[in-house]
Amino acid sequence: MSIVTLLTDFGTADGYVGEMKGVLATAGAVEQVDIAHDLLPHDIDGARLALARYWRRFPPGTVHLVVIDPGVGGSRAALAVESEGRFLVGPDNGVLSPALLHAGARAVVLPIGASASPTFHGRDVFAPAAAQLALGATVDSLGSPHLAPIVRRTPEAERRGDGAVRGVVITIDRFGNAVTNLMARRGGTIEVAGLRLPLRRTYGDADPEAPLALIGSSGLVEIAVRDGSAAARLGLRRGSEVVLRNE
Amino acid sequence: MSIVTLLTDFGTADGYVGEMKGVLATAGAVEQVDIAHDLLPHDIDGARLALARYWRRFPPGTVHLVVIDPGVGGSRAALAVESEGRFLVGPDNGVLSPALLHAGARAVVLPIGASASPTFHGRDVFAPAAAQLALGATVDSLGSPHLAPIVRRTPEAERRGDGAVRGVVITIDRFGNAVTNLMARRGGTIEVAGLRLPLRRTYGDADPEAPLALIGSSGLVEIAVRDGSAAARLGLRRGSEVVLRNE
Amino acid sequence: MSIVTLLTDFGTADGYVGEMKGVLATAGAVEQVDIAHDLLPHDIDGARLALARYWRRFPPGTVHLVVIDPGVGGSRAALAVESEGRFLVGPDNGVLSPALLHAGARAVVLPIGASASPTFHGRDVFAPAAAQLALGATVDSLGSPHLAPIVRRTPEAERRGDGAVRGVVITIDRFGNAVTNLMARRGGTIEVAGLRLPLRRTYGDADPEAPLALIGSSGLVEIAVRDGSAAARLGLRRGSEVVLRNE
């Protein structure tokens, strides 16, 4: 039985996710796994970053259904993607970038049926396509090649003349940790909010109220405050500048 | 393996939903699908509207467990319902109306066992009944006919003398869209909050900050603001008046 | 197929829970059941109380994965526990107390692999151990005996000289009910916030706005206000004193 994961910004209380789950269940032979439905409305960047964390943790054959879709019913394409043995369906707005950026990724454009609600492709386009993939359909059988460039988003860190790398905060997690786009493997120094912080190993490696920098579980530099919110303490938000010096 | 869906206003952090899931799991051979647990406490109308969206999207044989139950332990009956080949269990307070209003719906009153907690029928009455239905029991085998009138709620739109139809906002969704009880199939004009809005096709069919009216994915008229909250922008809430003119 | 339940304080939007679910899915043959991910960050007491409610409601063989882990990467041990035929994995910070306090509970210390992220044992230590247990591994095969005392938390009620029992509010649930650590089987009087309240049967047994005391679905005394929040109305919070008199 194939797995279909669900990531949306629909919340659950309105019943929209319930409708999608009903479509999947009716298609049959599908195991549904919730990732999240409480993304901020229209938060394509947050969804992209969450997806980057989990999509390859699931086994080959898994279908990831991703519906953060402010452009629903407009001109944006609906995509089905195969990458690294996993499948993904969702809108062509950058949210599927983590899979699209992999070498060998294939994408097709899903047709929008005449009976599809122009405000709910999650139910009428993406969930049916996810179910077909879970039941063994190939990506190519579901749509046609994408001729226009596909939207791919990635906030690249920038190497400066002095050897330092300039990055930004890309998200604030539930604990108030500020996650950056700076990849790091070992020590170094982080400059953020007027502070210079050595890279530590884990949250407990600093005093309870002191800010610290560490390499998070995805290899990205994070700014944290043990037992508190680094974002609140240092005034950080998405886009705040962070610099890594390998010294 | 039969599906049991769960809709409650319990939140998840307190562990009450976990108790219900344990009861279902112990009964065996049941696939659990979460719909939502974050309905506003005691929001029977919100639950009813969510249920209307998803209950028939699931395949025949599905059991919908719906526990929004402010009257637990009091005189309200506990119901098991069969309608359109699906099963539903929940309190007799109107929350099951979408299924009860269908021709051919059958309802029985579930007995309340002596050991049932008077504050938690979700765990001790409804989840066990849902498990039995999922395992093949008939509705009739679970209870006795309901002699008193069953509570059915439905906010009917009202046709006025001038041919217009007067309705109300029935819920505000997570995106701030105001969903009404006005059914529409094609064009017309909506009067709301002192504005006259033509019915559009989707969110992108208006300027980013302009209010628009459209036919939502369930056939109901919605008032929306692209990239914003119509409810906040126009001061709409449940019960706000909305008029549809077919002109 | 064995069940693995998940209880965390990670929220879902950041994708951390998605990573754990991917690890479980890749291990195979595991049915995942969400309990909650919206516990207050680092709320060990709240998690412990939720766990107390549901862990034995699931059938023998179930694995409960509990990751409320402010000390991750520090000196706290990672535990696997067998108790009453169920398995539990989580940090040694008291969160597993409901199972550890049972006679016959066995606990081992899980090794932390060199490649485990020091900030995410949920993904790299606990989820893999949970998967192994679900697939049939014994607790003893997963780790070594715990030599230091295991953390066990339990807020004991205190019997006073006059025969009354003094307890405290241990949590406020989503409805604003104040749950205490006072066990009761039948009548009595509760003293709280300067009031004397007889123990009632259910929420409807008092006037809509009047505070009432009752025996909740786990046998613990609760203070409630029908159609309102007792915590807000009476100024109750965790630790507020509550006295039970059996008279």
B24-68: per-residue pLDDT in tens?
999 987 899 999 999 999 999 999 999 999 999 999 999 999 999
Q: Which pLDDT band, with edges at 50, 70 and 90, does B208 fall under?
A: confident
Chain A contacts of B42, Cβ < 8 Å?
none
Strand, helix or coil for residue B53: helix
Distance CA C62, CA C128 (A): 15
The distance of Cα A132 from the centroid of its chain, to the nearest Å, equals: 23
Optimal mutation site among A16, A43, A68, A75, interface B, most CBs of chain B within 10 A:
A16
Tokens 């109750």: give the residue: C236
Beta-carbon separation of B10 and C174 below 8 A: yes
Chain B contacts of A25, Cβ < 8 Å?
3, 33, 57-59, 62
Q: What is the pLDDT of residue C208?
A: 83
φ, ψ for residue B246, nearest 5 deg: -85, 70
Tokens of C231: 């915590």
Over residues B133-142, the pLDDT tens digits come to 999 999 999 9
% residues pLDDT > 90 (chain B): 81
Chain B contacts of C62, Cβ < 8 Å?
22, 25
Tokens of B40: 């506003």
Q: What is the pLDDT of residue C162?
A: 85
Closest residue in C to A171 (Cα–Cα): C14
Which of C5, C171, C216 comes nearest B119 by C-beta? C216
C-beta separation of A36 from C24 below 8 A: no
B203: left (phi over 0), alpha (psi -120 to 50) or beta: alpha
Closest residue in B to C227 (Cα–Cα): B70
Polymer length in residues for chain C: 247
> Which DSSP string corresponds to A32-54?
EEEEES-SPTT-HHHHHHHHHHH
Q: What is the pLDDT of residue C247?
A: 67
Cβ contacts of A196 within 8 Å, gap of 6 or more: A189, A190
Optimal mutation site among C21, C42, C54, interface B, most CBs of chain B within 10 A:
C54
For chain C, residues classed under CATH 2.40.30.90 are 158-245
ipTM over 0.90: yes
Cβ contacts of A162 within 8 Å, gap of 6 or more: none
Closest residue in A to B57 (Cα–Cα): A22
Of residues B204 and A54, more confidence is placed in: A54
Q: Which pLDDT band, with edges at 50, 70 and 90, does B232 fall under?
A: very high
Closest residue in B to C221 (Cα–Cα): B119
Helix (H), strand (E), coil (C) string for chain C: CEEEEEEECCCCCCCHHHHHHHHHHHHCCEEEEEEECCCCCCCHHHHHHHHHHHCCCCCCCCEEEEECCCCCCCCCCEEEEEECCEEEEEECCCCCHHHHCCCCCEEEECCCCCCCCCCCHHHHHHHHHHHHHHCCCCHHHHCEECCCCCCCCCCCCEECCCCCEEEEEEEECCCCCEEEEEECCCCCEEEECCEEEEEECCHHHCCCCCEEEEECCCCEEEEEECCECHHHHHCCCCCCEEEEECC
Q: Looking at the complex, report in whole angstroms how far the Cα of residue C120 sits from the nearest Cα belonging to chain A.
A: 6
Q: How many CA atoms lie within 13 A of B224 on its CB side?
A: 25
Optimal mutation site among B54, B171, B179, interface A, most CBs of chain A within 10 A:
B54
Query: How many CB pairs below 8 Å do chains B and C form together?
Result: 106
Over residues A163-220, the pLDDT tens digits come to 899 999 999 999 999 999 999 887 899 999 999 999 998 888 888 888 999 999 999 9
Tokens 């359909």: give the residue: A137
Which residues of B sit within 8 Å Cβ distance of A?
Answer: 3, 5, 7, 33-40, 46, 49-59, 62, 171, 173-175, 201-205, 214, 216-217, 222, 227
Over residues A196-211, the pLDDT tens digits come to 999 998 888 888 888 9
Chain B contacts of A72, Cβ < 8 Å?
202-204
Chain A contacts of B37, Cβ < 8 Å?
12
Chain A contacts of C34, Cβ < 8 Å?
34
Of residues A25 and B145, more confidence is placed in: A25
C-beta separation of B2 from B63 below 8 A: yes
Over residues A61-94, the pLDDT tens digits come to 999 999 999 999 999 999 999 999 999 999 999 9
Which of C3, C37, C53 comes nearest B25 by C-beta? C3
Distances in whole angstroms, Cα of residue A159 to Cα of each of A49, A177, A192, A204: 22, 24, 16, 30
Q: Which of A71, A92, A86 is nearest to A145 (CA)?
A: A92
| Architecture label for domain C158-245 | Beta Barrel (2.40)
Q: Looking at the complex, report in whole angstroms how far the Cα of residue B120 sits from the nearest Cα belonging to chain C.
A: 6
φ, ψ for residue C162, nearest 5 deg: -85, 10
> Which DSSP string corresponds to chain A?
-EEEEEEESS-STTSHHHHHHHHHHHH-SEEEEEEES-SPTT-HHHHHHHHHHHTTTSPTT-EEEEE--TTTTSSPPEEEEEETTEEEEEESSSTTHHHHTSTT-EEEEPP--TTS-TT-HIIIIIHHHHHHHHTT--HHHH-EE--SPPP------EE-TTS-EEEEEEEE-TTS-EEEEEE-SS--EEEETTEEEEEESSGGGS-TTSEEEEE-TTSEEEEEETTB-HHHHHT--TT-EEEEE--
Beta-carbon separation of B15 and C171 below 8 A: no
Strand, helix or coil for residue B61: coil
Beta-carbon separation of C19 and A202 below 8 A: no
Q: What is the pLDDT of residue C149?
A: 84
Chain C contacts of A169, Cβ < 8 Å?
none
Q: How many CA atoms lie within 13 A of C11 on its CB side?
A: 16
Which residues of A sit within 8 Å Cβ distance of B?
Answer: 9-19, 21-23, 25-26, 28, 32, 34, 41-42, 70-74, 117-120, 123-124
Distance CA C107, CA C110 (A): 10
Q: Which of B212, B220, B209, B222 is nearest to B178 (CA)?
A: B222
C-beta separation of A16 from A122 below 8 A: yes
Which residues of B sit within 8 Å Cβ distance of C?
Answer: 9-19, 21-23, 25-26, 28, 32, 34, 41-42, 70-74, 117-120, 123-124
Optimal mutation site among B119, B120, B123, B125, interface C, most CBs of chain C within 10 A:
B119
What subunits make at least 3 CB pairs under 8 angstroms with A? B, C
Optimal mutation site among B1, B4, B12, interface C, most CBs of chain C within 10 A:
B12
Report the greatest alpha carbon distance in chain C: 60
C-beta separation of C97 from C48 below 8 A: yes
Query: How many CB pairs below 8 Å do chains A and C form together?
Result: 106
Q: Residues C17, C18, C24, CA angle at the centre, nearest 5°?
A: 90
Tokens 């693995």: give the residue: C4
Beta-carbon separation of B37 and A74 below 8 A: no
Q: Which of C63, C61, C41 is nearest to C51 (CA)?
A: C63
Q: Looking at the complex, report in whole angstroms how far the Cα of residue C144 sits from the nearest Cα belonging to chain B.
A: 30
Helix (H), strand (E), coil (C) string for B124-147: HHHHHHHHHHHCCCCHHHHCEECC
Beta-carbon separation of A59 and C19 below 8 A: no
Tokens of B173: 């969704």
- Mean pLDDT over all residues of chain A? 93
Chain C contacts of B72, Cβ < 8 Å?
202-204
Q: Which pLDDT band, with edges at 50, 70 and 90, does B163 fall under?
A: confident
Q: What is the pLDDT of residue C61?
A: 97
Beta-carbon separation of B54 and A23 below 8 A: no
- Sign of the Cα torsion C139, C127, C97, C71 reads positive
Over residues B24-36, the pLDDT tens digits come to 999 987 899 999 9
Q: Residues A201, A207, A211, CA angle at the centre, nearest 5°?
A: 70
Beta-carbon separation of C18 and A202 below 8 A: no
Q: Taking residues A126-136, what's their average pLDDT?
A: 97
- Tell me which residues of chain C have a pLDDT lower than 70: 247
Beta-carbon separation of C73 and A35 below 8 A: no
Closest residue in A to B61 (Cα–Cα): A26
The CATH number given to B3-145 is 3.40.50.10790
Distance CA B168, CA B158 (A): 10
C-beta separation of A50 from A38 below 8 A: no
Over residues A6-33, the pLDDT tens digits come to 999 999 999 999 999 999 999 987 899 9
The residues with which A200 forms a beta bridge, in sequence order, are A214
- Mean pLDDT over all residues of chain B? 93
pTM given for the model: 0.95
For chain A, residues classed under CATH 3.40.50.10790 are 3-145
Sort A139 into a burial class: Cβ within 10 Å, 0-12 / 13-18 / 19+.
buried
Tokens of A45: 């960047």
Cβ contacts of C173 within 8 Å, gap of 6 or more: B11, B14, B16, C179
Q: What is the pLDDT of residue B247?
A: 67
What subunits make at least 3 CB pairs under 8 angstroms with C? A, B
Which of A7, A49, A217 comes nearest C123 by C-beta? A217
